[in-house]
Amino acid sequence: MTGGSIVVGNAHQGNGAEPPPDAVPLWREDRLVAPRRPALPCDTSADVAIVGAGFTGLWAAYYLLQADPSLKVVLLEREFAGFGASGRNGGWASSIFPVSLGRVEQLYSHPSALALQAAMNETVAEIGRVVSDENIECDYAREGFVSLARSQAQWARAQATVAGAERFGIPGQWQLLDAGAARDKINAAGVFGGIYTEHCALLHPDKLVCGLATWVENHGGVIYEDTAVDEIDNGIVRTKRGSVTASVVIRATEAFTPEFAAYRRNIAPLYSLVVATAPLPPELRAELGLCGRTAFNDLRNLRIYAHPTSDGRLVFGGRGAPYHFRSKVDPSFDVDEKIHQKIITTMHEFFPALRDVPITHRWGGPLGVPRDWFPSVGYDKRNKMAWAGPYVGDGVATSNLAGRILRNLILGKHDALNSLPVVNHRSKKWEVEPFRWIEVNAGLRAAATADLEERVTGKPSKVSALIEKLTGAH
């Protein structure tokens, strides 16, 4: 496939409105007044049209152009490159896969599960290699990830995680830390111990978006912004400004996928919310173990995530915001005062010394969740359609892996990655409303209930065990 063009775009967020003024992600505050790129001017043709200009679209464009520089890459973006989850996330590029390896083994095989984890581990290093080779300054720092145990139940889960990894055949994936070793990494309150993996890096998401976008443009790509994709149909991407006729269309729309009628029930958008503090004084950072760039959370069931930034702030985020009826996505959901306050309260439980430190940023955004929590990358040549995602909140690294797989599938490149369980995985559709609304929000409440159960009993939650058995999520 040579001599043509590749088109990359994304779906409309909903009503196109701007988020509330206080909902601008920390990563984007320097881009608020940046000029946008021109919109698509007219009809054009292409080899490949990639609908979605976040990490998935940019990584796919990067690897395709790297493999065949004669390809012309055009990105179509409703707002601006990285507008979605790629510019709103917590800054972790980790080897976490949203489905347990046990469930991967159950659906595929034990060797497939091992290969998937190895590929996720390698992806963290691959991102580091690319940003180094291409001189992309995105504050990449690979110092690993520690999951703290801050209760007896969480400590039991930490020990079970390490033992389970060894039994499964990945010894060393997690290192068990006693209380002192865990506090040496992150000096949070109430630490019983923890687990640590080297397979995680921190980065500035928007700097990575901008770096990849610049690379694509410098290698023949054209990025059109303010161009909404209205319809995808057998090699044709339609917008109000014109259509793109392509040999292959890649759908990379993550949480915005349900806005296309054909995919209304494929994905449920869930909101993840984040806060950032003002830069911390050096002596306070040293006291709390926040001088390095180690990602961290604890082993609760309703996921949280945090890390110290390169300029000394603490970024702290978490789940818990409700699913909105009929998969609605709207900028007004980017800030939820109740959930943001819970996140801040949790941060202060970790670090009581931060109670007087100002919160300078509150933001959020939707992430995509398939019915079985299992990400997918695939290519249906007959229908001229390829796809990648959704990633259930673990997309910073997984989107890079997806970009390489898309390159392989589209260009016919033989590679071991093409046999990973994510390739051509098909998830069942979500239930129709109101059952989808009931089910998704019940799942969120169940995770919160599991954490309450553990605080009361001091033992790993039976509710949590049931959730993982039913969904494979962990």
Side chain identity at residue 153, one-letter code: A
Res 383: pLDDT: 94
Answer for the pair 50, 60: CB distance below 8 angstroms, yes or no.
yes
| CATH code of the domain covering residue 48 | 3.50.50.60
Q: Which residue positions in the chain have pLDDT lower than 50?
A: 1-4, 11-17
Res 440: pLDDT: 93
Note whether residue 276 is domain-resident. no
Note whether residue 63 is domain-resident. yes
Note whether residue 125 is domain-resident. no
Measured distance CA(123)–CA(471) in Å, rounded: 25
Measured distance CA(297)–CA(194) in Å, rounded: 10
Three-state DSSP state, 346 = helix
Beta strand 72-76 with 222-224: parallel, antiparallel or unpaired? parallel
Res 441: pLDDT: 92
Note whether residue 31 is domain-resident. yes
Res 470: pLDDT: 57
Residue given tokens 């701007």 in the structure block: 18
Outline where DSSP puts E strands in 111-255. Answer: 145-149, 175-178, 193-197, 200-202, 222-224, 229-233, 236-239, 242-251
Res 16: pLDDT: 44
Three-state DSSP state, 72 = strand
Note whether residue 15 is domain-resident. yes
- Helix (H) or strand (E) holding 364, with range, is strand 359-369
pLDDT in tens, 396-443: 999 999 999 999 999 999 999 999 999 999 999 999 999 999 999 998
What is the number of domains present in the chain? 1
Res 21: pLDDT: 57
Outline where DSSP puts E strands in 252-340. Answer: 268-277, 295-298, 304-308, 314-318
Res 403: pLDDT: 98
Note whether residue 66 is domain-resident. yes
The values of phi and psi at residue 430, to 5°, are: -70, 155
Three-state DSSP state, 193 = strand
Note whether residue 234 is domain-resident. yes
Res 3: pLDDT: 42
Domain span holding position 405: 5-90+205-267+372-419
Which residues are within 8 A (CB) of 218 and not within 5 positions of it... i.e. 6 or more apart?
Answer: none
Measured distance CA(392)–CA(255) in Å, rounded: 9
Measured distance CA(40)–CA(243) in Å, rounded: 9
User: Residue 311 has which token pair?
Assistant: 């300029």
Answer for the pair 61, 250: CB distance below 8 angstroms, yes or no.
no
Note whether residue 412 is domain-resident. yes
Buried b (16+ CB within 10 A) or exposed e, 124-153: bebbbebbeeeebebbbbbbbbbbbbbbeb
Measured distance CA(408)–CA(423) in Å, rounded: 11
CA distances from 188 to 151, 348, 444 (A): 12, 10, 25
Measured distance CA(410)–CA(252) in Å, rounded: 14
